Amino acid sequence: MAKLYFSYSSMNAGKSTILLQASYNYRERGMATLLLTAAIDERAGRGRIASRIGLASEADLFETGTDLRAHVEAHLAERPIDCVFVDEAQFLTEAQVWQLAAVADELGIPVMCYGLRTDFQGKLFPGSAALLALADTLREVKTICWCGRKATMVARLDGAGRIVEEGEQVVIGGEESYVSLCRRHWSHRQLGDDPNGRT
């Protein structure tokens, strides 16, 4: 039976790398995959999933109004799909997570979602909250804080490398804008050995 999977982490844990490798493994065995990514995130180029280590692939885009079950069914009318992969899954709506659950439950296609669990204020993204509630299988992709502990939180940085505590939930950026921290150092707003800030 097909399942809905959610692999989550903080920033820079290698989620996109894992997604691209898994899709490659399917394709290497002659199976077809459908890759989806959020239209809001164009860091790798529009309709493109890329990892920091250089892997990349084209992907279909989803926006908040995209009916993902209908999107998958439209592709199924043209070719088989053995697995659906969703990058930046934190940007899904709750309704879209239910649509992906229906892809697994009713169309019999595994759906593997990859995304952040929480934002820079320690709050769940709507898509992540729905996936944590509905996914059949949850997997944590681990990365580390500067201290060596497991990083579970994300801090947003301003242009001078200082932690930002207020603002919009969604601001697209990479290593220049976000840093992964353990809960303790996120709580203390500590970016390095210097207790007053970044080292």
Rounded Cα distance between 78 and 101, Å, is 21
The catalytically annotated residue of 63, 73, 88, 176 is: 88
Q: Please give the distance of CA 136 from its chain centroid, rounded to a whole number.
A: 17
How many residues belong to the chain?
199
Query: What burial class does residue 20 get, using C-beta atoms within 10 Å of its C-beta: 0-12 exposed, 13-18 middle, 19+ buried?
Result: buried
Cα 132–chain centre separation: 13
Phi-psi category of residue 189: left, alpha or beta, with phi > 0 → left and psi -120 to 50 → alpha: left
**Contact between 155 and 120 (Cβ < 8 Å):** yes
88 carries an active-site annotation: yes
Cβ proximity of 162 and 197 under 8 Å: yes
Instruction: Indicate which residues carry an active-site annotation.
Output: 88
